[in-house]
Amino acid sequence: MLSAIRGLKALIFPESKGCPLCGRQGAPHQICRFCLQMWADLAEGLVPCTKCGRFHAGQEGKMICWECREDEQPYIISRAVAPFEGPVREAVHYFKFCGRRGLAYPFGELMASLVVQLFPFRSFGAVVPVPLHIGRLRERGYNQAALLAEVIAGILKIPLQEEALLRVRETPSQTSLSRQEREENMKGAFIAGKEALLLQGKRVLLVDDVYTTGATVKECCRVLASAGVGELYVVALAAGIVKDKNPKEV
């Protein structure tokens, strides 16, 4: 019920009048401390995998999930601001499907802070968003990952290369597929655009809204790597929770 009310508020409250998620008065365009606390509470008792950034049960310490132990990832590190659950899931839903594109600013700010905190000594040659297929873009009117990438690039003063990756094939829903099938399903969905030529040998920050199975991000990284990009880092607003009974300390 509470979450339904919050949801309704998120649709009703004009973004200029306080917290864009709950409408509480405060600095305009900034997520209030109550909402941020709710997001922090979601991560209570969870730690991110040191490689993919998905969350799993655990306390402090560096852990690596079973999937990253089994497979090599085509990026150096991926990280997300919060677990993709409860209020974060709702907020992403408003951002993606309810036309709330203004949420890109506070979300992008949180992601930029995470990048600064995690990769303080890395200098990035470009920020690249995970692209949407043109059909989906027409339907939605905007690519949420591109909006986030634009904000992050602006804050961190890194060039935005929106056309470095192009999505040439829409992919059917992935939810019922196994891990291998999902990766198979993504093959050929992206190609490198001509801007990718500018990124050869450079370190690139790939941006997506949610990291769930990682199949999309991994395919994007593979395409960028084969176009000559030097090193890939990934940042997302939210990441899934991995059920891993035995994450390994590293």
Strands 190-192 and 77-83: unpaired
Q: Between 65 and 149, whose beta carbon lies closer to Zn ion?
A: 65
Structure tokens at 100: 């709330």
- # residues near Zn ion by CB under 5 A: 11
Query: Is residue 35 involved in binding Zn ion (CB under 5 A)?
Result: yes
Q: Between 17 and 187, whose beta carbon lies closer to Zn ion?
A: 17
Stretch of residues binding Zn ion (CB under 5 A), selected from 30-38, 131-139, 176-184, 214-222: 30-38
Helix axes 179-186, 215-226, angle to 10 degrees: 40
CB of residue 19 to Zn ion, shortest distance in Å: 3
Q: Where are the alpha helices (DSSP H) in the chain?
A: 2-12, 33-42, 66-70, 86-97, 104-118, 134-140, 144-156, 179-186, 215-226
In sequence order, the 6+-apart residues with CB closer than 8 A to the CB of 139 are none
Q: Between 22 and 199, whose beta carbon lies closer to Zn ion?
A: 22
The span from the CA of 134 to the CA of 13, in Å, is 30
Q: Which of 6, 10, 15, 51 touches Zn ion (CB under 5 A)?
A: 51
Contact 162, 149 (CB under 8 A): yes
The span from the CA of 191 to the CA of 213, in Å, is 20
Q: Between 68 and 152, whose beta carbon lies closer to Zn ion?
A: 68
Site for Zn ion in 189-228 (CB under 5 A): none
Q: Between 27 and 116, whose beta carbon lies closer to Zn ion?
A: 27
Element (H, E) at 127: strand 126-129
Q: Which of 10, 38, 42, 65 touches Zn ion (CB under 5 A)?
A: 65
In sequence order, the 6+-apart residues with CB closer than 8 A to the CB of 53 are 77, 78, 79, 80, 211, 234, 236, 239
Site for Zn ion in 68-107 (CB under 5 A): 68
Stretch of residues binding Zn ion (CB under 5 A), selected from 19-27, 140-148, 192-200, 217-225: 19-27
Stretch of residues binding Zn ion (CB under 5 A), selected from 61-69, 129-137, 138-146, 206-214: 61-69
Contact 228, 203 (CB under 8 A): no
**What's the distance, Cα to Cα, between the start and end of the chain in Å?**
41
CB of residue 49 to Zn ion, shortest distance in Å: 3
Q: Between 22 and 149, whose beta carbon lies closer to Zn ion?
A: 22
Stretch of residues binding Zn ion (CB under 5 A), selected from 43-51, 102-110, 124-132, 225-233: 43-51
Applying CB under 5 A, the residues found at the interface with Zn ion are 19, 21-22, 24, 32, 35, 49, 51-52, 65, 68
